Amino acid sequence: MVYFCARNEHEEMYTVRFKFEQKELEPITLRNVEPGQSLLEIALMNDIELHHNCGGVCACTTCHLYIEKGMEFIDELTDREEDFIDRAVNPRLNSRLGCQSLLLDGDGEIETILPDQTQFLGE
């Protein structure tokens, strides 16, 4: 009898939970999220408001967010990203830029908190 393992690298999926500093917004949990996407892309595809004034090219701070869980599943912080995080409102040790937070191959749980989006103008 031959058993085939159904899993391969393309079937690895994440659960991503978005929480919000804006009190009126309920947390959103997304399941079966594929790796290779940024948290900004994932948010926008799911109608979650996350500003991105530079268009996602690491040239502003409006996609700033906090990673509460699963930082190990996200691509490493670069010096350039760190420079922009330093200019964000209320940067913390778990700050990242959503457009630079690319989900690595793997599966697990990621939890993020989005700062109050009403403080930004633009996209």
Write out the residues near ligand FES by the rule CB under 6 A: 52-54, 56, 58-60, 62-63, 84, 97-99
The residue (of 91 and 108) whose beta carbon lies closer to ligand FES is: 91
Give the count of beta carbons closer than 10 Å to the beta carbon of residue 32: 10
Greatest CA separation found in the chain? 62
The residue (of 12 and 49) whose beta carbon lies closer to ligand FES is: 49
The residue (of 42 and 97) whose beta carbon lies closer to ligand FES is: 97
CA distance 54 to 23: 26
Do 123 and 53 form a contact (C-beta atoms < 8 A)?
A: yes
CB of 106 to ligand FES, least distance (A): 23
